[in-house]
Structure 1
Amino acid sequence: MRILQQVRRVISWLVILAAMTRAAIGAEPGESAFLKRVYTNAAGARLPYRLLTPREMAPGREYPLLVFLHGAIARGDDNEEPLNWGPRLIQETLARQHRDCFVLAPQCPKGEGWTGSSFFSKDKDALTLTLELMQGPLAKEFRIDAKRRYLTGVSMGGIALWGYMAQTPGIFAAGVPVCAAGTPSMATDRAARFPIWAFHSDDDHLIPVQSARDMVEAWKKHGGSTRYTEYTGLKHSSWKKAYLDVEMFEWLFQQRLP
């Protein structure tokens, strides 16, 4: 009986200690700052998303919006996993810069690409819902600067970024594809007006670095404003450094639509 009581006492103290530690370091860094929501359109299609809002919104002031598209590993409907693959680092860097910005992180369903059943499908799905959300409900609810909307994506999300911007430039002011690539033939004079800063690692084992180099060169051949950062030894995790790059964010927020 005494042993059982001692065990219970130890467990109780461990629970208290864990709670104190959790409070001190934050079990989910930055998660509470991201609003947890679900967008449902008129047709009943649902899109889970997280939204980071500026810390203080001054009356009458408009703020930029950064849309983050996650990779295949974060697909699902838990509305949690996407935060683990970039948004928290983005939040950290924005805080270091004392920069106020909206960050929208939608979640793509399992088994789907951002633009449908495959990464290059013409049948748009989660990305279309994201644009509906951005241009509809969010634009009505918040003062978002329509000339300073930006798009970034990791892996599958970056692939969708390249494809979308090649087909539909003019919605976003600039884009940051990370460990991603597209088809060089996508590049056109019209698409290349969209400024790009791409990030990749020389040893990426899922998306070969040459495919990213080729995409950047194709963009440049059409007169595009393109920057490219190539890391060494990060494999398919370029995002871990890209989203901590202060210079990139300074460049990004200088871009704006005419």
Structure 2
Amino acid sequence: MQQMVSRLQQTVTKTLELNYVVYLPSGYDPSADVKWPMIYFLHGMNQRGDDIELIKKYGIPQNLDAGEELPFIVVCPQCATNSFWPFENESLITLLDNIVNDYHVDENRIYLTGLSMGGFGTWDLAMMHPERFAAIAPICGGSIPGRDLSPLREMPIWTFHGDQDPVVPIQFTQMIVSGLEAMDAKVKFTVYPGVEHDSWTETYRNPALYDWFLEHTREQ
């Protein structure tokens, strides 16, 4: 039998589409050479689609739309209807690169957080690209089975979950925290007694979360 050995070399172009909202702090000046910390916020499953207003239903964008002021650039991408955040890491990193290029972002102070599906996305994106984030705060999320937690060993983490959550049971977070604690990772775990799935409202209204973010700078 004749054996054929050859090599394919071809440039493949992939089109990525992602709607997003950017909130700028009141002191932001595009002409000033001042770098700002940034929060990357990932929404939950019911905010997927092409209606950008859905993003503002819960969490940080809801609070900002209600008039809250935060000393961060806040970027809120929207996941497509037929996808999930843990499968959109390439799109999210591409968007992050563009945001860093277009706005005065301090790359050493980029913080990642999300709720429910966005909590899953937060864990996964941080595992795949730990070098991009100074700290993460996943809320009522979990991890894809088989994912390697070791990239998060040095990552400052504050995670939150209601102990009566019927949608994403608290065991999803407990398993991750146990694995990280076994590695002596920098993880804080806040459990809300009697709280069901909505563990994000209290979390994102707590000024301590934003103070905690600002305590952390990405290690070079």
Quickly name the TM-score band, shorter chain normalised: 0.7 to 0.9
Aligned to 1:30: none
- In terms of fraction of residues, the more helix-rich structure is 1
**Partner of residue 128, structure 1:** 90
Q: Are residue 147 (structure 1) and residue 120 (structure 2) matched?
A: no
Which structure has the larger Rg over C-alpha atoms?
1
2-structure distance, mates of 1:224, 1:243: 23
Contact 1:93 1:246 in 2 (8 A): no
Q: 1:188 to 1:109 in 2, by over 3 A?
A: closer
Gaps of 5+ in 1: 1-41, 117-124
Q: What SS is found at the alignment partner of 2:41?
A: strand
Q: Which residue of 1 aligns with 2:124?
A: 163
- The answer for the alignment partner of 1:52 in structure 2 is 23
Partner of 1:103: 74
Counterpart AA for 1:86: G
Q: 2:85 aligned with 1:114, yes or no?
A: yes
Kindly state the Cα deviation for residue 193 of structure 1 after the two structures are TM-superposed. Answer: 1.1
- Give the superposition deviation at 1:168: 2.5
Q: What is the TM-score normalised by the length of structure 1?
A: 0.73
Identify the residue that residue 8 of structure 1 maps to in structure 2: none
Aligned residues: 204
Identity across matched positions, percent = 27
The alpha-carbon deviation at position 189 of structure 1 amounts to 3.8
Deviation at 1:103, TM superposition (A): 0.5
Equivalent residue number for residue 228 of structure 1: 189
User: How far is the alpha carbon of 1:57 from its aligned partner?
Assistant: 2.1
Counterpart of 1:65? Answer: 38
2:208 matches 1:250 = no
Instruction: Name the CA distance, whole Å, in 2 between partners of 1:254 and 1:204.
Output: 30
Distance 1:183 1:46 in 2: 24
Structure 2 runs not aligned, ≥5 long: 1-12
Which letter does structure 2 place at the counterpart of 1:255? H
Higher RCO (C-alpha under 8 Å, 6+ residues apart): 2
Contact 1:89–1:240 (Cα < 8 Å) also in 2: no
Moved over 4 A (4+): none
| Structure 2 CA distance for aligned equivalents of residues 143 and 170 of structure 1 | 19
Residue 34 of structure 1 corresponds to which residue in structure 2? none
The separation in 2 between residues aligned to 1:102 and 1:142, in whole angstroms, is: 9
Moved more, 146-155 or 83-92: 83-92
Distance 2:75 2:114 in 1: 12
CA distance in 1, matches of 2:145, 2:19: 32
